[in-house]
Amino acid sequence: MLGDMAPADPPVSHRQVQAGSLTMHVAEAGQGPLVLLLHGFPESWYSWRHQLTALAAAGYHAVAPDQRGYCQTSAPTSVADYTIFHLTGDVVALMDALGDDRAVVAGHDWGAPVAWHTALFRPDRIRGVIGLSTPYRPRGSRPPVAALRQHRGDGFYIVHFQQPGVADAELSRDPERTFRAVLCGLSGETAALPLVPPGLGLLDAIRAPDALPGWLTEQDVHAYVSDYAEAGFTGPLNWYRNIDRNWELTAAWRHALIDVPALFIAGDSDPNLRTISPDGLATFLPRLTRTVLLPGCGHWVQQERPAEVTAALLEFLAALG
């Protein structure tokens, strides 16, 4: 009977928004307090597909942009246009374009440092911050690429990505293979730290399995392939090529704490946690409400465990009032 039917999920709509100097593609759903959902690498707005509708149904305006250089958003040509100041500036510009003075910002993978630093730089605009996969750590005492090379070697994927054009060409050669390998290779079933063999590429370190894990469908893979069909990977990789520049630019924030309500969520099998440990996170986030580690979950936490991630988000949002 019609009265017994479950309510339909709120619709997700798409539009282009002028956010400062960028023409930014956003996916959005719902009305209410603003929650910004920032994706990581190599992802797009689509990584938040489960949370967009769930947050909207709970009374929030959920907005997931394609970030600078990604997919349907503007991609400046200069590597220097992808610093942490550009990326956090984009978040504030998006809030302005949406007409909101304040927001909760959540970020996964690379989106997490953007979320953390937006809260650090503009606490007046951020009601709460949620990081997924990448814990917050204040600026260190030495440039990060040299530190990573010393501890992980030249094959560590972040070091490998510093070479202009190399990973760009490899990842663009067969995008379907790329997404199958990266999404499956870092999931809870097969998670491994990406170490590129000498003279080879990232996809030699992360191989696509014969079958997709249960959380990932052929439709999901094709959605990412379609998103990257025109824009490619250079814009996203330019984020990595600024990490030493970011270290130089943020000298004034050495040892700085983030003093807004915070939540951290990750899979306990995420290889990212072998590089950046969540231990002692409350030291740097004095208003941390809790850390959620999901057993058996890998890097793609909001896609691998959508129900548990959404529940943690909603609990945190409700406590903010």
Structure tokens at 257: 């704490």
Contacts of residue 143, Cβ cutoff 8 Å, sequence gap at least 6: 244, 247, 248
Q: Say if residue 65 is preceded by a cis peptide, omega within 30 of 0.
A: no
Using alpha carbons, select from 183, 148, 179 the residue that is nearest to residue 162: 148
Using alpha carbons, select from 58, 56, 66, 60 the residue that is nearest to residue 25: 66
Cα distance between residue 87 and residue 36, in whole Å: 13
Confirm whether 299 is a catalytic residue.
yes
Confirm whether 255 is a catalytic residue.
no
Using alpha carbons, select from 318, 313, 320 the residue that is nearest to residue 107: 313
Annotated active-site residue in 86, 90, 108, 109:
109
CB 297 within 8 A of CB 161: no
Specify the length of the chain in residues.
321
Using alpha carbons, select from 122, 134, 54 the residue that is nearest to residue 88: 122
Contacts of residue 279, Cβ cutoff 8 Å, sequence gap at least 6: none
Sign for the CA dihedral angle at 145, 150, 153, 156 comes to: negative
Q: Which residues are catalytic?
A: 109, 299
